[in-house]
Structure 1
Amino acid sequence: MTMETKIVIRRKKRVNYFDFLPDDILFNILVLIPTELLRLKLKYVCKRWFNLISNRILFDLASLIIQRPIRENRHIYETRREVNEKKLKLWTTVQDLNIPCRGRIRSWCNELLLITDPHNLGALYIFNVNTQDGSTLPPCSSSCKGHFGCKCGIGLAFDKIKGSYKVVHVYVGLHWIECEILVLECKLSSFNCSKWEKISGPSYMGQRRYYWDDPISVEGRFLHWDVHSAEFIVSMDVAEERFFQTRLPEYSNSFKSNEYFLTEIGGRLSLLLPVSGSQVDIWILKTTWEKLQSIRYICYVSSSIHSGIVLPDPIGSLRNGSNIIFRKTGSDSALYAYSFQFKHMKQLEIGIQANERCLVQSMAKDFL
């Protein structure tokens, strides 16, 4: 046997026949394996297995989390998740999330939830939905009164360059907006983090000089804040840890501050602009802003809070970007899903109260 023949035989032995299996067949094999083994070991075999196990087996394609505050304490929440999707179809399920920390979820990136700890002033809690592991993070160095108010914005992002998560905390300082970052490394069943590190905050604030909301996350890496400006929003590249301006799209009518909505659709920053009582234009940011399409609808609200025609507020798109979820405001709240393919909006069979809040997941591009 020649040397070349031996090399060919060795190469044949290294063939991974799982690579030739379609996702559906591989899925049917993996679901037979115990859940703990999937969570702690097999999920990390390769990128394909990670996505298949995380998104189709463990996470069950749930795309929406709903939180309800407990009446006795407005800082403590009950949490459940609903709305599943497969291809272009939606269906609703209910699953209670048994999170040890029952605070307000501030950000949701990949498998991780970033939660305000109601029993530990100034502290945040990180929770892995798949492994069910959690940990309290070190208190931040700012004086924002426990993250309970609206004077600070908190975002969780994934830095694929360093392979670690970063918690970004933007808050009002003595004279300007300040920022601090906590680097978070996630192991199989533990979290390792460094100390909070201050970085230069944005030098442009729009009209948000006294309070900032939580940002819109795109691709798990870029954070965007609506600063009530008619010309720009404030953005951040979390991997490079720098702020920059993102100009609003050019439009025939002048933009007005606080009259548009920012959200994420299919992994891109999107802007929804109401142009009339029954139409909303959707813009998406590629290399430049492009108008995606217009949504024409009328939503009547019958309540003591609002009367007449009220446009639903966008919550965000579901994971594959085929649907965007809207919420009708008022005491008689409702959720709607708009299908980009069928250009149709329908009400979801989900009971939701006026004091409940909704969150959608942000998935990092090329995660793992």
Structure 2
Amino acid sequence: MRYLFRPPAADATGLLLLPWDQPLEEWDHDLLLDVPSRGISRHVVRFVAVEDRVYALKEIDERLARHEYALLAQFEGEGLPAVSVLGICVDRPDEQPAVLVTRYLEYSMSYRWLFSRPRGERSAEQLLDTMVVLLVRLHLAGVFWGDCSLSNTLFRLDAGTFAAYLVDAETVERHPSLSPGQRAYDVDLARERVGAELLDLQFGGLLPADIDPIEVADSLPPRYESLWEEVTREEVFRTDEQRYRVAERLQRLNDLGFDVGEVELKTTDGGTRLRVETRVAGPGHNRHELFRLAGLEVQERQAQRLLNDVRAFRAYLEQKSGSPVPETIAGHRWLAEVYQPVVDAIPEDLRGRLEPAEVFHEVLEHRWFLSEQAGRDVGTTKAARSYFDTVLPRTPQELTTPSVIAGRG
């Protein structure tokens, strides 16, 4: 047998002790994890925990395994939204398929799991919009998916909304750019697969009665075209509008979660033409900024929400002291005096329900709700206590590495 693992190599050492010479279906149950949020796969897929980390193992033809391994490594290097690949095991005895090893995406959920949970009153339209954003991001990077579906997508909460991640890259093709025909074909494949998956949910009694699976699936192409047009269109405006219209356009793209590359302004007889190179490359601005100010690694929308709270806290400090407060000082004080006390106060039996940053976001939302009711600001401490007493206990246990490992046996 041969193993190929990406750095850091230390992640793979514990995995080498697993029984790779045996088919995954025959592995001892004590080695495996029962992952509640796993989706449906046409391959044999198993989950294991090694040194406090969860990995997904998928048996697959060696040619496809090498193809997917190389692509997922590219995607991670470019910051594209996909699961992180660790390695592959090939040349297994008795001509067994290769095994692709990926790191499990913590706090992620499959579409079936979302619709089967008590808290999962997630609309099909909401998941569809999230998946469309993922598809547009991939297409901008020259990625033809070829098998876009809800089953091949993982969803993760990000400040009250969802972020989507590609899970399966077997059918992916990489090009310098995609033609309109390639994009349209990929979108049509997605429409067919989503329609079938929603029908399956309906037959299983998991889809709300007022949702028409075919109608929702048929709305995918126009949703995609609307977003594609928004992020790629050229604009023409008067020269005296130039400054604010460019700023407005770039802000709109950032709000949609896209990065901006080259900006080109060209003067024409009809006015100034603006062309923006839209891309997805690396973590967003808000994530960078929050890490710089407070040392927190969170998702992009969470970072945006937390940054707003940092700025409000800084304004409070300046008002209280009557003098300017450097943003780095405000960031460190916010972390110590506002964010960390909330995270530390999460009851032990409720830890792991949501990411800490998502908990803090929800506490801020709860604070706004309570303040509206009271007609005054109730404060973060009181809002957190109320949230822990009344809201967080109703949140179903979602997948985290510690909680899954603790629940083995």
* TM-score of the pair, normalised by structure 1: 0.27
TM-score, normalised via structure 2 length? 0.26
In proportion to residue count, which structure has more helix?
A: 2
Relative contact order (alpha carbons < 8 A, sep ≥ 6): 1 or 2 greater? Answer: 2
Higher strand share: 1
